[in-house]
């Protein structure tokens, strides 16, 4: 849990635009409610399963809460919200559901449940280049692509400012 920074002016265009600053300030509460609904609808459209999902806008900060089944899903929800144009930060208050009692101790937890690294795409980056940097092999780009679905729909379509999950490689 915590705050995650994003590039505010990069990402999915869910909030419209073109309003004057005065008009935006006058309708701030209504606008925040519309943003909250748009974010909720977007998370639902990506089929990211969050129990009791809630989002509260505080300026350009999205405070998100609810319960998810895994660390991986938690990270995907954070990235889905953070990679929306107009969001500068995500205040993560999501809870990961407790593992089943029959599961082994944390030291034997599968790699998929370890926290991934978040990486901000730079101009000129490609998934294969990012994979080469993080994994030592450009051919591992599909690991990054799969880890960022459904947010990524094409491995060739990433943009500067976008934040991606870089999961640990399974041994």
pLDDT tens profile 83-106: 999 999 999 999 999 654 444 444
Cα 26 from Cα 149, distance rounded (Å): 37
Q: Which two three-digit tokens encode residue 87? A: 């969001």
Q: Which two three-digit tokens encode residue 45? A: 């459209």
Q: Break the chain into its structural domains and give their ranges.
A: 2-96, 106-166
Cβ atoms < 10 Å from Cβ of 158: 18
DSSP string, 125-149: --HHHHHHHHHS-GGGHHHHHHHTT
Span 139-154, pLDDT tens digits: 999 999 999 999 999 9
**With 90 as the cut, is the pLDDT of residue 113 above it?**
no
User: For domain 106-166, is the CATH number 3.10.350.10?
Assistant: yes
Instruction: Give me the pLDDT at residue 10, please.
Output: 73
Cα 60 from Cα 137, distance rounded (Å): 37
Instruction: Give me the pLDDT at residue 9, please.
Output: 74
Is the pLDDT higher at 158 or at 14? 158
Span 64-88, pLDDT tens digits: 999 999 999 999 999 999 999 999 9
DSSP string, 84-109: BTT--EEEEEEEEPPPPTTSPPGGG-
Please state the φ and ψ torsions of residue 166, each to the nearest 5 degrees. -120, 95
Q: Which two three-digit tokens encode residue 23? A: 């008009």
Span 11-62, pLDDT tens digits: 777 766 555 556 556 667 788 889 999 999 999 999 999 999 999 999 899 9
- DSSP annotation of 12 reads B
Instruction: Give me the pLDDT at residue 64, please.
Output: 97
Cα 156 from Cα 82, distance rounded (Å): 20
What is the mean predicted confidence (pLDDT) over 153-164? 94
- 106-166 matches 2-96 in CATH topology: no
Q: Which two three-digit tokens encode residue 41? A: 């609808």
* Residue 57 three-state SS: strand
Tell me how many helices (H) and strands (E) the chain has: 5, 6
Span 2-96: which CATH code?
Answer: 1.10.287
What is the mean predicted confidence (pLDDT) over 115-138? 96
């Amino acid at each position: 849990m915590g705050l995650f920074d994003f590039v505010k002016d990069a990402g999915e265009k869910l909030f419209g635009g073109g309003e004057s600053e005065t008009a935006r300030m006058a309708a701030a509460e209504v606008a925040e409610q519309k943003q909250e609904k748009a974010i909720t609808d977007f998370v639902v459209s990506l089929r990211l399963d969050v129990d009791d999902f809630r989002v509260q806008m505080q300026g350009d900060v999205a405070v998100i809460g609810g319960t998810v089944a895994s660390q991986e899903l938690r990270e995907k929800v954070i990235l889905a919200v953070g990679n929306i144009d107009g969001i500068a930060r995500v205040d993560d208050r999501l809870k990961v559901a407790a593992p089943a009692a029959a599961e082994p101790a944390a030291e034997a937890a599968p790699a998929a449940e370890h926290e991934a690294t978040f990486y901000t795409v730079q101009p000129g980056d490609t998934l294969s280049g990012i994979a080469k940097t993080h994994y030592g092999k450009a051919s591992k780009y599909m690991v990054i692509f799969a880890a960022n679905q459904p947010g990524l729909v094409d491995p060739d379509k990433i943009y500067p400012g976008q934040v991606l999950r870089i999961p640990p490689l399974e041994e």
